[in-house]
Structure 1
Amino acid sequence: MQVYGVSRKIWTSKGEEQEEAKKEFIKSLKKLEEALGDEAYFGGDTFGFVDVALIPFYCWFYTYETFGNLKIEAECPKIISWAKRCKQRESVSKSLGDEKQLYQSVLAYKNTFGLD
């Protein structure tokens, strides 16, 4: 599963390529939801390595939704619930980047390199 590669295409591509990237991204998130199951974290009741590795992607969701015109929560509610639960942890909330600032940075990058 390549969450990064396919998710990057959501904001760097258009048309059919972007539509395919969106489908693959949601498919990847659904696989993560399957692994999560009904647990609070990927390690069950314990916040662990997999959670630490994946939670930084959450601050990218606003960018993916905005450029890709999609609603991740509608497709993958368990992932959003998991992310919100992770954000309640002080260590996570203090370390994640601001989603709107990240979007502005990506927008500036796209403009600088002509990726519009």
Structure 2
Amino acid sequence: MEQVKVLSVEGSPFATRILIALEEKGVKYEYQLEDLLSNKSDLLLQLNPLYKKVPVLVHNGKPICESLIILQYIYETWGSEKVLPAKPYERALARFWADFADKKTRLNSRPKRDMLENLKFLEGALKEMSGRRSLPFFGGKDFGFLDIALAPYVPWFHIYETIGNFKIPFETEYPLLDAWFKRCMERESVKKLTPSVQTLERALEIRKRLV
């Protein structure tokens, strides 16, 4: 029998995307929370000695690190469909925008300006990759790699609005993203794994202290 375990922290979008992918594929898994501030487990230090961070996917005793690499591994291991688009250019776009989202969610001194600018870029990417064909997801008609990579960031926008004391005008300025957000939140895997506001606030404090 396969053994699947995920080492994570509460509220982490990087870990949440792994759990969403496992839920989407119907893979049973064990979940272990880590304390990254003061009490990293011996298991985490053993499985990821280089970075000492989460998430880590352990499949039959073998660790896989870095969330986007784990995400691709999940689909290659448990999915018959391809996790990334068939065409090389579209695959490159999906990898680029997933990496963009990860790098552009860092906390900084100008959250409103940067957040609105980054959302504008993502709105344009969604239009280029699917909007012009009126397809529901970044991956086209199916909830795919880039959708799973980005979906865990959706509940974080409320936190960023609170930090920056502003309201993001999704419906008027980012209508494609707004519709995509709502479609993502309708999926059982995303609804099940969306953390509470309190969990996100705790995660935010941890991220601040780890920076």
Shift of 1:95: 1.6
Residues 18 and 108 (structure 1), Cα distance of their counterparts in 2 relative to 1, 3 Å cut: closer
Partner AA of 2:149 in structure 1:
A
Q: CA RMSD in A?
A: 2.7
For the pair 1:32 / 2:129, whether they are aligned, the reply is no
TM-score, normalised to structure 1, is 0.69
For the pair 1:84 / 2:182, whether they are aligned, the reply is yes
Shift of 1:77: 2.1
Shift of 1:65: 1.9
CA deviation string 1:45-73 (max 9, x = no partner): 22222211111111211112222324151
Residues 75 and 105 (structure 1), Cα distance of their counterparts in 2 relative to 1, 3 Å cut: farther
For the pair 1:13 / 2:81, whether they are aligned, the reply is no
Partner AA of 2:115 in structure 1:
K
Structure 1: gaps (5+ residues) = none
1:71 to 165, 168, 175: 168
Which of structures 1 and 2 has the bigger CA Rg? Answer: 2
User: Identical aligned pairs, as a percentage?
Assistant: 32
Shift of 1:81: 1.4
The structure in which a higher percent of residues are strand is 2
Report the number of matched residues. Answer: 107
Structure 2: gaps (5+ residues) = 1-96
User: What does residue 41 of structure 2 align with?
Assistant: none
- Distance in 2 (CA, whole Å) between partners of 1:39 and 1:64 is 28
- Distance in 1 (CA, whole Å) between partners of 2:173 and 2:198 is 24
Which 4+ residue blocks in structure 1 deviate beyond 6 angstroms?
none
Contact 2:126–2:138 (Cα < 8 Å) also in 1: no
Shift of 1:107: 5.6
Shift of 1:79: 1.0
SS in 2 for 1:21: helix
SS in 1 for 2:152: helix
